Amino acid sequence: MASAARALGALLQRASSLSSSATALRSASLLNGNGSVGNAGLFLRHATRRISTFQPLCMGRRSCKIAGRKDAQNLKKMKRNSKIGKEIVAAIKKGGPSPSSNTALAAILEKARELDIPKEIVERNIKKASEKGQDTYTEKVYEVVYGFGGVGMVVEVLTDKITRSVQEIRNTLKDCGAKLADPGSVTFRFRQARVVNVKVTDADKDQLLSVALDAGADDVIEPNFDDIDDELEDDAKKARPNSQSMVKAMGLFYKIVTTSENYQVVVSKLQEEGINFETDNGYELLPLNPIEVDDEAMELNKDLVSKLLELDDVDAVYTDQK
């Protein structure tokens, strides 16, 4: 009996050893990718790696460009909303919270309605103006000494702490290899004008030129189609139906340039012709002689402008880069 028990025990031990060896062999096959079991393991391993819990930000060069332009449009809208909020605070600080007696505030609130500024932003800034310790906002213009490729920039700031704003701007310029310029050394390269933006998909180019110039506009600036992929360029320029959604997504606009005195005449003429346009966002600085630079300088300037616009106190950055 004892010998039988010993034999049984030895048999069980051998079976256990064989099972362990098989498991080890299977694991090695999975890791090494050898044999049919290894190939299945390799497939499973790669399949696991391909599982994604998020959508890719963009797919390909075309989508990246669209995403970048959308980001720029969203940032522009955010900056516009922020500036209106600051103007509300400044107007209340100067003339009180009642629009009936504060004409400056009434005008800003009307502008906020026209621009479709979210109600919560307006209400938040009205409340902010009455808070203890809240300073009024001061408008400042900073000139950036010639950027990369000889490009000049003008930075518009509306701030309640000038020392903070200028320090942030200096730090950003230093990080990017640029610096502030002396007053008057860059602004002469720009002119101030009222600008009406019309989406490429909302108007025929020839019709828009005729309407705008008949109304006394100074100029109509076409969008830069060079940013569009080669295969879309012809379609975008002609705004054919199969490319309209693409053009619209990329936020391309014609800019109608006019004087402050003639602005309302231009707007009225567009309305008569049934041409949709973006509500006026105030004055813009337009370069007198745009500068063409190489690709490297263009990217460096684009990065600098982007970093400046990320600063809370900066409302706009104008450049004479072509």
| Per-residue pLDDT reduced to its tens digit, 222-234 | 886 555 544 444 4
Assessment of whether the complete model's pTM goes beyond 0.95: no
Q: Which residues of the chain have pLDDT under 50?
A: 1-2, 4-5, 11, 18, 21-67, 229-237, 239-249
Give, in order, the Cα–Cα distances in Å from 181 to each of 11, 184, 260.
Answer: 91, 8, 29
CA–CA separation, 134 vs 160, rounded Å?
8
Beta carbons within 8 Å of 219's beta carbon, 6+ residues apart: 256, 257
Domains (ranges, CATH) in the chain? Answer: 2-50 (no CATH), 61-136 (1.10.10.200), 187-319 (3.30.70.980)
Q: How do residues 65-113 score in pLDDT, each as one tens digit?
A: 444 555 666 777 888 888 889 999 999 998 899 999 998 899 889 888 8
**Residue recorded with tokens 């080669």:** 230
How far, in whole angstroms, is CA 255 from its chain's centroid? 19
pLDDT of residue 75: 75
Q: What is the chain's percent helix, strand, coil content, to nearest 5?
A: 60, 15, 30
pLDDT of residue 251: 61
